[in-house]
Amino acid sequence: MMDSAANARLAPLGISRAARVHLNLTPAELVEEALRRGEGTLTDTGALMADTGAFTGRSPKDRFVVKDANTQDSVWWGDINIPFDADKFDQLHQKMVQYLEDKEIYVRDAYAGANPTYELKLRVVNELAWHNLFCYNMFLRPTEGADTSWTPDFSIICAPGFEADPAVDGTRQKNFAILNFTKKMILIGGTGYAGEMKKGIFGVLNYLLPHERETLSMHCSANVGKDGDTAIFFGLSGTGKTTLSADPNRGLIGDDEHGWTPDAGIFNFEGGCYAKVIDLSAEKEPEIWNAIKFGSIVENTRFVPGTHTVDYANKSVTENTRTAYPINYIPNAIEPSVADAPKNIFFLTADAFGVLPPISKLDKSHAMYHFMSGYTAKVAGTEMGVTEPQTTFSACFGAVFLPLHPTKYAEMLGKKMDENEVNVWLVNTGWTGGSYGVGSRMKLSYTRAMITAALNGELDDVTFHKHPIFGVEIPAAVPGVPAEILDARDTWADKEEYDRTATDLAHKFVANFKKYADYANEEILAGAPKAEVVASV
């Protein structure tokens, strides 16, 4: 049953028939629908618990971009942006439309981009009610009573129950997520992982904003102080990005995706937060804990037996358990989620080799180089007998979301540094006094003190010295932090072993960067570590 409002929204997407169309339902109505359809159950805090099925995370190898006249010369083709045939996209689109003909569907008008000048109007078609609630939480919500009968800038059709035929449809498996920049549409099928929708739109903005609007798109969190000083935090999983950007003394702009405009500061792409909840506690992360209430979603979690209380330590489904909630569920959230250009940028790394200083300052070259490297090192504790740290490099701290070559984003960052007075800091939240197994994890209290000192300008007049291999500037003193831990080499009992480990890590940086070297300019390359230098000389 399609009324005129639904028909006007869905006809341009090729959808002319559906058993029933639910348009822009409220969170309460969507929760009711999800419960009626058996899509989830309520927890004792009122949050909706839902499972994502076989896929408990994104499937990067099944993410495609349509290769056509618009994209063939601009997209960074390869393992991250896998080309897809335009005719195959149209064929798959028609099959999805046919699949939805006898289904109840949930349609939502939303937008991405808290700065009105840069907003992306969205229309989302969902097979599942709880997915539509996810979109209500994660995308920006039009003001009550606003006319949303707009022509969308991008649309999503998400049908987890529809599976592709790889032999016929050109996909790798039965599941897929396909971006089409010409048709301005994302098709998602065969997977119930809601994050595919969120990251699909992030991929769209990562293309449109740098390519067409001279705006740097960033995979980062952001907060702002009482004096309006903005800070942004980049970091891969396990580096402390969420924890360190959640500061009760600063307003939260957003926890994951932002744009930096040529003249209007930064803005959040989203209207909500999508946080990991494995081992969540009220003590460690009270803001997230308290946000899990009616209207929120918890994914792939399980109850304490005999109760409706979530057991956040339960990993039986996945370690990637998550919650999705509107940003206004965080008490110190800033709405609208916009702020001035950042005064400080933090690159967070958990260096399990114990080589990098706990805090260091980067000039423009080193900032662009480390931005493109996107380094952290993890301990492979999930594999029996493996205790050696393993390097992880992800360009711009989010390579899997970049439709353009990483040099585009790095050069834009350098340009922003030229145009704004901004400090860039590399913060090691990992090991000190030795690599994993010998040294110890940097105290969170010390890391917080270092970040606070940087934010408060307490490092502006401190003496710095260069790291002999990585070339970053190490402060001689930080308020509240023992001076003897500021230079990582000083914390090692065996200085020669430190030199060997640092040189080895430098070689890993250089080896990783080889795939970008032909595209990087001389200024970026100047930020590379001097792997041939021995620190003790």
Residues 108, 123, 199, 343: which is the catalytic one? 199
Round to whole Å and give the CA distance between 288 and 252: 12
Q: Clarify whether 184 is annotated catalytic.
A: no
Residue 363 falls in the annotated catalytic set: no
Residues in a beta bridge with 390: 378
Catalytic residue among 63, 241, 343, 489: 241
């390359």: which residue's tokens? 525
Q: Measure the CA angle with vertex 356, ends 350 and 362; round to 5°.
A: 105
**Catalytic-role residue among 151, 237, 281, 387:** 237
Residue-by-residue DSSP string for 196-243? HHHHHHHHHHHHHHHHHS--EEEE-EEEE-TT--EEEEEE-TTS-HHH
Q: Are 288 and 294 in contact (CB under 8 A)?
A: no
Please indicate whether residue 237 is annotated as part of the active site.
Answer: yes
The catalytic position among 171, 242, 407, 501 is 242
Amino acid 242 reads T
Choosing from 109, 255, 256, 351, the catalytic residue is: 256
Active site residue 219: yes
The one-letter amino acid code at 452 reads T
CA 211 vs CA 75, 120, 186, 216, 234: distances in Å? 10, 15, 19, 9, 21
The whole-angstrom separation of Cα 494 and Cα 379 is 21
Catalytic residue among 9, 58, 108, 183: 58
Residue with tokens 């001389």: 522
Catalytic status, residue 199: yes
Is residue 201 within 8 A of residue 170, CB to CB? The reply is: no
Q: Is 241 a catalytic residue?
A: yes
Q: Among residues 222, 221, 204, which one has the least CA distance to residue 213?
A: 204
**What are 215's two structure tokens?**
């705006």
CA distance 338 to 116: 10
Which residues belong to the active site? 58, 199, 219, 237, 241-242, 256, 322
